[in-house]
Amino acid sequence: MSEAVKVAVEAALAAGKILRDRKDSIGEVNYKDFYDPVTEVDLLCEKTVIDHIKKTFPDHDILAEESGSAQGNASPSKWIIDPLDGTLNYSHGYPCYCVSIGLEHEGQVEVGVIYNPCLDELFVAERGKGATLNNKPIKVSTIPTLKESLLVTGFHPKVINSLDDNLNHFCRFMKACQAVRRPGSAAMDLVYTAMGRFEGFWELKLSPWDVAAGMLIVTEAGGTLSKFDGSPVTIYDEEILASNGLIHQEMVDILQSS
């Protein structure tokens, strides 16, 4: 385990403990917009993760959901942090949320760690070294067709004020696969695709901290990533399609027909 992976795991577990300890006392809830909450726990977890990282990597840059971008000394390395992906779930007591930490080096994500404290699930990936769940290797599903597949998606708060709201895609996929789920955490959707609980995931209007760690975990588990048209995707694009690879073109076809 590299030093970066070790630090990311320690930071994710520390933030996860806070999420567990505070789940019944989340404190004050504020709103970036009326549909987009931020709790005291978000801020506390973010500070905890950043403090862990800065002890070992004081010169690295930080991009975090709540505090934004903090520059180091022109570092080629940047930590991309969502301290609580699924804040709305957390604020309602719905147990689907996680801590997501990615490390980007020279424009490429090299480390991804996602911790789900509700089920004590720790997902880890390092570029070129595969992906694990609680230290056991994971791989994407081998289901070969869309009609046999269980898919997952989400509706980011940004879609509320947009005509590009994902409902057209949702309706088409509902009629083309076994079922579509909508848990409310993009990071969890990605890692559950990586481990084969879902065959595919798509979503619009996400931010780098939503997907940085999860995209690497999908790739290292043997999955396929793209934009909706099948072209290459980065963590800075606002649409993402992830799948087991076997149904990827079928998903592209549905998204393009929508």
Determine the pLDDT at residue 37. Answer: 84
Comparing 62-71, 142-151, 196-205, 241-250, the range with the smallest average pLDDT is 62-71
- Note whether 182 and 129 are same-domain residues: no
Which among 104, 136, 168 is the end of a domain?
136
Q: Which among 187, 166, 186 is positioned nearest to 254, based on CA atoms?
A: 166
- Note whether 153 and 247 are same-domain residues: yes
| Distant-in-sequence, close-in-space partners of 185: CB < 8 Å, separation ≥ 6 | 85, 86, 89, 96, 97, 98, 154
pLDDT beyond 80 at 126: yes
Q: Output the CA torsion 214→218→220→221 (10° steps).
A: 130
Determine the pLDDT at residue 26. Answer: 87
Characterize 43-61 residue by residue with b for buried, 16 or more Cβ atoms within 10 angstroms of its Cβ, and e for exposed. Answer: bbbbbbbbebbbeebeebb
CATH number at residue 128: 3.30.540.10
- Note whether 12 and 73 are same-domain residues: yes
Tell me if 141 is assigned to some domain.
no
The larger pLDDT score, comparing residue 110 to residue 156, is at: 110
- What's the token pair of residue 220? 């290292």
- Note whether 7 and 132 are same-domain residues: yes
First to last CA, the chain: 43
Residue range 150-163: mean pLDDT, rounded: 87
Segments of 26-171 assigned E as strands? 29-33, 36-39, 61-64, 68-70, 77-85, 98-105, 108-116, 121-126, 131-133, 136-137, 150-153
Widest pairwise Cα distance in the chain: 51
Which tens digits make up the pLDDT trace of 80-123? 999 999 999 999 999 999 999 999 999 999 999 999 999 999 99
- What's the token pair of residue 217? 């975990």
- What's the token pair of residue 239? 């649409």
Determine the pLDDT at residue 30. Answer: 82
Q: What whole-number distance in Å separates Cα of residue 184 and Cα of residue 36? A: 12
Which tens digits make up the pLDDT trace of 3-52? 999 999 999 999 999 999 999 988 888 887 666 788 899 999 999 999 99
pLDDT beyond 90 at 66: no
Q: Mean pLDDT, the chain, as a whole number?
A: 94
Q: What whole-number distance in Å separates Cα of residue 223 and Cα of residue 98? A: 21
pTM of the complete model: 0.95
CATH number at residue 187: 3.40.190.80
